[in-house]
Amino acid sequence: MTTEIATAEAQTAESILAKQNEYLWPSHILYYKEPMPLDHGKGSYVTDVGGTEYLDYFGGILTTSVGHNHPKIVERVSGQVAKLIHSSTLYPHANHVNLAEKMASITPGNLQKSYFTNSGTEADELAVMAARAYTGNYDILALRHGYSGNSALGKTLTAQAAWRIESSIVPGVKHAINPYCYRCPFKMSYPDCDIACAQDVEDVIKTTTCGRVAGMLVEPIQGVGGFITPPPEYFSIVAEIVRNHGGVMIADEVQTGFGRTGGKWFGIEQWNVEPEIMTMAKGIANGFPMGNTITTPEVADAMMGKGGLICTFGGNPVSTIASLTTIEIMEEEAPLDVIEAKGVKLRSALEGMADNSPVIGDVRGMGLMQGLEIVTDKKSKTPAPELVNSIFEATRAKGLLIGKGGMYNNTVRLTPPLNTTDDELDTAIGILTEVFAELK
């Protein structure tokens, strides 16, 4: 007896959503009042099963960094699939070591040795283990409003109630105030604040730990947190405090990595800080599952003798060739200075919209990672999540897909493919301008 597998082409949006409701956990979050099952993508565009095409400016949560189904990635991946799909970390492979070498060449400071996993969650977990092994300390610092994934430790590092599950919380994580200038917890304004949020890190260490920490995990720009972007001095102050108390800096580049912030390969470089550990995922392989934890040699060596490490799918031959090819495409089609220039263009347009809109309270981010905090009015700064939902429906109706986030779910997130064209950028800016003009 054979079972016929229904193909995507044979299914309607209604039949796909019916199966989603029947066979998948209801905790899956779907965008839009009428969720759209996608069928295929090309470059900056995706097409749903009904045949409607959209300009995709959220990219699978900042993941399709060089666009959907890039022909070079398709070709290289297809060739690798025909040779060897899987091997595990028990066997060396050329793609695996070549990617590790490339990572060492583009990451800042003395970061050199990689351990590849399947996701950002795993990369962050491994980073915490490495920090504890290297320093001999246990407590880890993270930032309020941060997000670190779906595991027990990931949920604990996360500091938004909506993304935490009580039964999964584990000990050893302390949260400091984040550099949220638009909603400063101290009711101060930059630069007169003397970067009080950075000084809070030392207070947290002195009052909630034994005075020694393993490290601090930070997103250079908070992703799910709503693209919160710290002042220029913030990370250098924090790094000094953490190191003075025995810890290392862990830069979580899951969303900010691979040129996303423009001008630099990794977000933390924008603040001239060299971390001892860096994590990455999402845009690393343009949609193929992969995470990486890269460290200094000293940190990597400290893991020896602490217990065995194995990752069945880590360094997968297919994912690693996808990553190598993604980086190659970036170097050819989306060099760092070009990303920076496109980010300036997008930011300028968004600031112009904000000047003419009563509901755009703040514009923030870097490069092609830009956020708009939506409020009921600029004076009260009252979060307006329902208005964001309306903006979502309006942009979708005009053919543009965007993201959202933030502690109050009121931040619009715009993250085009890094190789998006000027015409595509103009199209997106035009749609957003129309939508915000209609909200006056």
| C-alpha atoms less than 13 angstroms from C-alpha of 25 in its C-beta half-sphere | 3
Round to whole Å and give the CA distance between 295 and 307: 18
pLDDT value of residue 305: 82
Q: What is the pLDDT of residue 168?
A: 85
* pLDDT for the residue numbered 7: 59
Rounded CA gap, 160 and 147, in Å?
7
pLDDT, tens digit (0-9, with 9 covering 90-100), for 1-20: 344 555 555 799 999 999 99
Angle, nearest 10°, between helix axes 234-244 and 196-208? 20
Q: Where are the alpha helices (DSSP H) in 107-195?
A: 120-135, 152-157
**C-alpha to C-alpha distance for 265 and 334, rounded to whole angstroms:** 11
CATH of region 73-333: 3.40.640.10
Q: What pLDDT does residue 307 have?
A: 83
**Global confidence as pTM:** 0.96
- Confidence at residue 5, expressed as pLDDT on a 0 to 100 scale: 58
Retrieve residue 400's tokens: 């543009």
Domain boundaries, the chain: 8-66+335-438, 73-333
Averaged confidence pLDDT in the chain: 96
Buried b or exposed e, range 78-87, using 16+ CB within 10 angstroms? eebeeeeeeb
- At the top level of CATH, the class of 8-66+335-438 is alpha beta
Measured between alpha carbons, how far is 181 from 178 in angstroms, rounded to an integer? 9
What is the four-CA torsion angle of 203, 208, 211, 212, rounded to 10 degrees?
A: -110
DSSP labels, 298-313: HHHHHTTTS-----TT
Spell out the per-residue pLDDT of the chain, length 440, in tens: 344 555 555 799 999 999 999 999 999 999 999 999 999 999 999 999 999 999 999 999 999 999 999 999 999 999 999 999 999 999 999 999 999 999 999 999 999 999 999 999 999 999 999 999 999 999 999 999 999 999 999 999 999 999 999 888 999 999 999 999 999 999 999 999 999 999 999 999 999 999 999 999 999 999 999 999 999 999 999 999 999 999 999 999 999 999 999 999 999 999 999 999 999 999 999 999 999 999 999 999 999 988 889 999 999 999 999 999 999 999 999 999 999 999 999 999 999 999 999 999 999 999 999 999 999 999 999 999 999 999 999 999 999 999 999 999 999 999 999 999 999 999 999 999 999 999 87
* Residue 361: both structure tokens together: 């309270």
Residues with Cβ within 8 Å of residue 75, at least 6 apart in sequence: none
- Give me the long-range contacts of 30-37 (CB less than 8 A, separation at least 24): 31/392, 32/392, 32/393, 32/396, 33/389, 33/393, 36/396, 37/11, 37/13
